[in-house]
Amino acid sequence: MIKKIFLFLFVTSCLVHELHTSEVSFIKSCKAGDHECLLAANTQIAIPYIADGIAELEIPALEPMHFENITIDQGFFKLFLQNMKVTGARKCKVAEMKRNFRESTMKMTLDCPLEATGRYIFSGSLWYHAISNEADFLIHAA
Ligand SMILES: *[C@@H]1O[C@H](CO)[C@@H](O)[C@H](O)[C@H]1NC(C)=O
């Protein structure tokens, strides 16, 4: 899966570099030969495509992500998240991209304005009082 994404990024990088260098403003802002900058710019262009999923590479859509049941059980409290839907993957921005040739690794930092909705059921105790609560939730992460 990861390999496929990188393959896709690589292919996209080549294509985008060939086709759009003069059209896309933030690629123009890369200095000639600044491969880090080009890679980050190309990845940025690829993100919405990846978020929508790529059937040919069996990459499922990341937008929206759906989680049916998540349970966080900490002993003294229990949080149950139901039907969680996460959107915003296609709006991710490449904040940082660094390649380390010696170790053959790549580090990518994404800023994603994610939004999650669903229903939560909380039960636990706070200062020896049992609390339980159930409601819809909306979480913004910037
Ligand atoms: C999720 O939780 C609900 C309620 O407890 C349950 O009915 C359902 O089977 C669960 N689904 C999965 C996939 O575990």
Tell me: the pLDDT tens digits for 38-77?
888 888 988 988 888 888 888 888 888 999 999 999 888 8
Find all residues with CB under 8 Å of 52, minimum gap 6, and list them.
61, 63, 90
Higher pLDDT, 98 or 71: 71
The pTM is what?
0.66
In short, whether 69's Cβ falls inside 6 Å of ligand 1 is: yes
> 89: closest CA among 51, 125, 124?
51
Which carries the bigger pLDDT value, residue 67 or residue 26?
67
pLDDT of 19: 43
Between 17-26, 64-73, 108-117, 123-132, the lowest mean confidence (pLDDT) is in: 17-26
Cα of 82 to ligand 1 centre, how many Å?
Answer: 8
Q: What is the pLDDT of residue 130?
A: 87
Strands 77-87 and 114-126, bridge-based pairing: antiparallel
126 Cα to the center of ligand 1, angstroms: 27
Phi and psi at 102, nearest 5°, equal -65, -40
Residue 115's pLDDT is 93
With a 6 Å cutoff on the Cβ, whether 83 touches ligand 1 is no
Place of tokens 């059209």: 23
CA 64 to centroid of ligand 1, rounded, Å: 20
Question: Cα separation of 87 and 22, whole Å?
Answer: 31
Tokens, residue 82: 């139901």
Cα–Cα distance measured from residue 134 to residue 122, given in angstroms and rounded to the nearest whole number: 6
Cα(121)–Cα(24) distance, rounded to whole angstroms? 46
* Pocket flag, ligand 1, residue 68 (CB < 6 Å): yes
Whether ligand 1 lies within 6 angstroms of the CB of 18 is answered as no
- Under the banding of pLDDT at 50, 70 and 90, the label for residue 138 is very high
Q: Which ligand 1 atom lies nearest to the CA of residue 69?
A: 1
Contact between 99 and 56 (Cβ < 8 Å) = no
Q: What is the pLDDT of residue 31?
A: 82
Ligand 1, atom 1: closest residue by C-alpha: 69
- The DSSP letter of residue 54 is B
**Using DSSP, how many helices (H) and how many strands (E) does the chain show?**
3, 6
